[in-house]
Amino acid sequence: MNRTVLWSLALGLFVACGDDGDQNENGDSENDTSTADGGNDGTENDGTETENEDALWADAWSIFSTRCGTAGACHNRSSGGPGGLSLPSDDENTSKANAEALKDNIRSEISSGGMPKDSTLSTEDRAKITDWIDSL
């Protein structure tokens, strides 16, 4: 066989099996979303965002259900509470939806000291609530 033909076949095989040229300056594939440590750079949802939001909600809910939505509290309308937001301590799903809808108002009232009425939240409890709001 002719040398030119062999070199042409070898070059064709090399090009066909080689890289598609989709690399960045570090030599990494442009489509690769994993990080060097095997993690994910956040461009694909690997479930951790949802887990984090759920954990932050659990922290906020522990405050809402024990301080804000208990029987007789401001945010329990079924027991005559005067608060504009219903956070019934016996209905977590309704409370979460209501709180998400008014998250900006909650942040403002907690930050200004307007809530809770006639008492205060610790710095840690305020942070738990605002961290949950920030995760939305």
The 10s digit of each residue's pLDDT in 74-118 is 888 777 777 778 887 778 888 899 899 999 999 999 999 888 887
Residue 33 predicted with pLDDT over 50:
no
Average pLDDT, the chain: 73
pTM: 0.59
Do residues 55 and 127 lie in contact, with contact meaning Cβ atoms separated by under 8 Å? Answer: no
- For residue 115, tell me if it sits in a domain: yes
Q: Which residue has the tokens 């930050």?
A: 111
Check residue 45 and give its pLDDT: 56
How many domains is the chain partitioned into structurally?
Answer: 1
Higher confidence at residue 92 or residue 32?
A: 92
Question: Which whole number is the average pLDDT over 29-41?
Answer: 46
Question: Which whole number is the average pLDDT over 38-57?
Answer: 69
Higher confidence at residue 79 or residue 41?
A: 79
- For residue 65, tell me if it sits in a domain: no
- For residue 43, tell me if it sits in a domain: no
Residue 61 predicted with pLDDT over 50:
yes
- For residue 106, tell me if it sits in a domain: yes
- For residue 57, tell me if it sits in a domain: no
- For residue 90, tell me if it sits in a domain: yes
Least confident of 19-33, 63-77, 96-110: 19-33
Report DSSP letters for 84-110, one per residue: SS---TT-HHHHHHHHHHTHHHHHHHH
Pairwise CA distance, residues 58 & 109, whole Å: 20
Check residue 32 and give its pLDDT: 46
Check residue 15 and give its pLDDT: 40
- For residue 17, tell me if it sits in a domain: no
Q: Which domain holds residue 125?
A: 70-135
